Amino acid sequence: MDGQEKNPDPVQIRRVELILQQLDELPTISAVAVRLLELTTAEDSEAREVIELVESDPALAGKVLALCRCNTRGRASNVATVERAVLLLGFDAVRSAVLSVQVFEVFDRMVSLGGETRDSEPVFDRVMFWQHSLASAVLASAMASRKGTPGPPTPGEAFTAGLLHDLGALALHVLLPVSFDKVCRFAEAHGVTLDEACSRIIGLDTRTAGKRLAEHWALPKSLTDVLWLHGQRFESLPDLPHRWLIGVVTLADIVARQQYSAPAGHVPRGDDGKLLCGALGLETTILEDLAENLHEAVTARAAGLDLRMRHDQTILLRSVSRANEALGRANNALRHRAATAQQQARIIRAIAGFHESTAPGQSVLDTLGQVVRSAKEILGGSFFATIYQSRDGEPWELVRLSDAGRPLETRLVDPPSATRLLTDLADRAQVSMRAITVLPLLEEFLNGVTDLEQIKLMPLRCGWGVSAVLAHDCPVDEDEDLDQLEALSRTWAAAVAAAAQHAGAKGLGEQLADANRVLVETQSTLAKHQTMAALGAIAAGAAHEMNNPLAVISGRSQLLAERLREPEQRLMAEQIAEQAHKLSDMISALRDFAEPPSPKRSKTDLRELVFRIVQRHCPTDPDGPSINTILPDILPPAFIDPDQINVALGELIRNATESKGVRHIELRVQTDPLDDRLKIQVTDDGEGMSLSTLAHAFDPFFSAKPAGRQPGLGLARARRIAEAHGGQVELVNGPSVGAIATFWINQWRENKDEQRHVA
């Protein structure tokens, strides 16, 4: 119908099963009628068998005699026996009469097994239906009489087939009167076939219903296939012995419709009757000949069968009225199609505009805003919200948006137990029931923002499920607008799904980048630890192996300096002792760096400690830099190792005083208001450091100063001391000049449990 393949609807499948079951429960025609049909169709049947069968049913015998008396020849002869009536009427007439009467009586006794009742006049006119059936029978019989080749079907067989070919429509009309009236209105309003409308609304077409009814009545195979296969293209019919009979009934049905001898829903078909005449071996002139006298022939045959149909003038007027009705419905259909075309054009423009306004790689929230703006443009409405779920098992994200697509409120909620996934809302037939579990969430989220009774849920379905659900108050017609909006809603859904995939890929990329960064940092830290462990082993061995010789060298050089009388020689001995001390101090410092001792924490007055450090390291040269200290008015005691902090801050101050061009140094102590870390910052106004110096400042034995000035362990030791106190040291250049060294101590507050443990 809409050009798209749709998944079978379980509800409709079950309904079709119930309808077929009801067809099997319909009353059957009498066994005498079925046997009579077999006898009058068989080539080797004898008149005696037919006469005896009719005589066995008193009601049937009386009907045949009555029909005979309605016949012109029967009235001329005073017919009083069944034998004479059968011989006078012929097998074909008897068969047609009996079947007509039987079918009339069966359907007159039927009621809707589905319990449907109508409140108004039916759209489906049963009298017009029988007129159409009789017209098709008359036309088929006439065509069979002009068949160019000998053999079946006989005109009587063609008459019977034409009379019964649309019984499926009558059966559905009886079983589902309200639904079938809706089918008829839809078929004529939209210019589609009755079977197409039946399949769409009921789920079962009239020909399948006719086949099932024929099988239930045990009709001959030829009649069953006529009820089932008529209306199909002749060249597509299977190679059956009665293929010509099916084709001629199809042609008769076409001609009858073109003469507007058809009930509601049986719109004139666009088939080319002349082409079908050629395929059936009939002269094309037969169509005009038969159509010209069709109404008179139908009136005469109805009177002959005693079907109590209206006289010829009434039939003609009824046909003209049907033509006018069909013309009016055709005009309505054209107007409806024009309106549909305009709506589809608007939707196409909306799809194009949506694609133009959607930027590649935008976020899911931005895409949902685009969806709302597009929905506002094409549907109207004033309220919009969305339900989004990033992944199965994740919470639902409820977003209320303005009609301009701007987020107004967002909330994460756990989905209801009955509807854990958004895909549970994908089935349009079930969405109203699923909404029962969703509406409480919306009610709590909206909290009086809008009237929930006006809210509709539109699942945004794409090829891989539901990407989001749009809640709106737009005036959408459930029967028509949703089908037309399918392409647009799928466009929205695909855009939301693409944004979600992009967000997922972006998040995964960020996670991979973070993981790689952590891996690199971990590898770097591991390498440093391994280096430190190696240095620790070297330092420990060096301290053990070198301190004793250095002590001997230092002691002997001091003794030698005391004994030497020449000043120059004494100075050389003193230099030997001094350098031995420096080498011993460097080995000790390297050992402390590689294996720093655990801090011996004690309650320390930071103000006093800072003044002592500054006094110790303040330059004695009057031209040297000045050191200014800034401390808060209230500075609680710190639970730290004062000796280690003394060493570390001394290294930072010394590093600042030795910077080139430095004139002023500031030492500031404060606590971070966000995480309560102790922050000691040393700032100078020197020339700052190069990028190479910043990159390697904490490396052991690295120094940017001339060779021989410093061993390059000061900043490295300061960092190790900070880490031992749960902190770190940061070194950066100032915004304009100088450098900034920041010493962070995380664990500086007194911990009673730790204090008792230390004690």
Alpha carbon dihedral 408, 411, 415, 416, in 10-degree steps, equals -80
pLDDT at 4: 42
Distance CA 500, CA 372 (A): 17
pLDDT > 80? residue 254: yes
**Statement: residue 523 has pLDDT above 70:** yes
Higher pLDDT, 239 or 17: 239
Report residue 586's pLDDT band, with 50, 70 and 90 as the boundaries.
Answer: confident
Q: In whole angstroms, what is the distance from residue 573 CA to residue 571 CA?
A: 5
> How far apart are the C-alpha atoms of 365 and 495, rounded to whole Å?
11
Confidence of residue 274 (pLDDT cuts 50, 70, 90): confident
Helix (H) or strand (E) holding 240: none
Q: Is the pLDDT of residue 81 over 70?
A: yes
Where is mean pLDDT largest: 235-239, 268-272, 523-527, 538-542? 235-239
pLDDT number for residue 1: 39
Q: Please state the three-class secondary structure of 88-118 as a single string.
A: HHCHHHHHHHHHHHHHHHHHHHCCCCCCCCC
Residue 398, beta-bridge partner list: 387, 411
The C-alpha angle with vertex 62 and arms to 57 and 64, in degrees rounded to 5, equals 95
Domain ranges of the chain: 110-357, 358-500, 507-594, 602-758
Residues in the chain: 759
Look up residue 374 and give its two tokens: 């597009």
How high is the pLDDT of residue 668? 93
| Nearest residue to 663 (alpha-carbon basis) of 621, 692, 613, 630 | 621
CA–CA separation, 665 and 628 (whole Å): 6
Better pLDDT: 495 or 1? 495
Query: Cα 288 to the chain's mean position, in Å?
Result: 56
Mean pLDDT in residue range 244-263: 82
How far is residue 385's CA from residue 446's CA, in Å, rounded to a whole number? 9
Note the pLDDT of residue 361. Answer: 78
For 730, the token pair is 């940061």
What class has domain 507-594? Answer: mainly alpha
Q: Which of 691, 623, 692, 682 is nearest to 654 (CA)?
A: 682
The mean pLDDT of 273-283, rounded to a whole number, is 84
Is 378:488 a contact under the CB 8 Å cutoff? yes
Q: Higher confidence at residue 396 or residue 629?
A: 629
Lowest-pLDDT range, 57-71, 104-118, 225-239, 423-437? Answer: 423-437
E-strand spans in 616-675?
626-630, 638-640, 664-671
Amino acid at position 31, single letter: A
Which residues sit opposite 669 in a β-bridge?
A: 680
- Contact (Cβ atoms closer than 8 angstroms) between residue 118 and residue 177: yes
Task: Give CA angle at 56 (54, 58), nearest 5°.
Answer: 80
Give the pLDDT of residue 756: 41
Residue 375 and residue 474 in contact, taking contact as beta carbons nearer than 8 Å: yes
- Beta bridge partner(s), residue 458: 470
* Tokens read off for 570: 């004494």
Residue tagged 């009386």 (tokens)? 62
- In the chain, the amino acid numbered 262 is A
- Pairing verdict, β 678-684 and 465-472: unpaired
In this prediction, residue 331 has a pLDDT band, given cuts at 50, 70 and 90, of: low
In this prediction, residue 492 carries a pLDDT of: 86
Backbone phi, then psi, for 364, in 5-degree steps? -65, -40
- Closest to 98 measured CA to CA, from 35, 13, 6: 35
Would you call 565 helix, strand, or coil by DSSP?
coil
Q: Report how far residue 392's alpha carbon sits from residue 265's, in angstroms, rounded to the nearest whole number.
A: 47
Mean per-residue pLDDT for 75-88?
Answer: 67
pLDDT digits (tens, 9 = 90+) for 346-383: 888 888 888 888 887 788 888 888 899 888 888 888 88
Q: Please give the mean pLDDT across all residues of the chain.
A: 76
Q: Where are the alpha helices (DSSP H) in 564-623?
A: 567-594, 606-617
How confident is the model at residue 30, as a pLDDT? 65
**pLDDT single digits (tens) 141-171:** 888 888 766 667 888 788 888 888 888 888 8
The answer to whether 329 touches 189, Cβ cutoff 8 Å, is yes
Report the C-alpha gap between 41 and 153 in whole angstroms.
9
**CA dist., res. 705 & res. 694, Å (int):** 13
Gap between the Cα atoms of 177 and 190, Å rounded: 20
DSSP structural state of residue 699: S
CB 85 within 8 A of CB 69: no
638-640 and 664-671 as β-strands: parallel, antiparallel, unpaired?
unpaired
**Residue 81, token pair as written in the block:** 């026996």
Distance CA 434, CA 396 (A): 15
3-state secondary structure of 608: helix
How much is the pLDDT for 596? Answer: 67
What is the CATH number assigned to the segment(s) 110-357? 1.10.3210.10
H or E element in which residue 178 lies: helix 177-190
The model scores a pTM over 0.75: no
CATH top class, domain 602-758? alpha beta
CATH 2.40.30 fits 358-500, yes or no: no
Residue 740 has pLDDT above 90, yes or no: yes
The letter for the amino acid at 354 is F
In whole angstroms, what is the distance from residue 475 CA to residue 655 CA?
A: 76
Per-residue pLDDT tens digits for 677-705: 899 999 999 988 888 888 777 776 666 66
Q: What is the 8-class DSSP label of residue 618? A: S
Residue appearing with tokens 């099932």: 212
State the Cα–Cα distance between residues 102 and 307, nearest whole angstrom: 11
Question: What residue type is assigned to position 368 of the chain?
Answer: L
Distance CA 148, CA 122 (A): 43
pLDDT of residue 308 exceeding 60, the answer is no
Cβ neighbourhood burial of 431 (10 Å; 0-12, 13-18, 19+): middle
Q: What is the pLDDT of residues 630-656, one digit of tens each?
A: 999 888 899 999 998 998 898 899 888
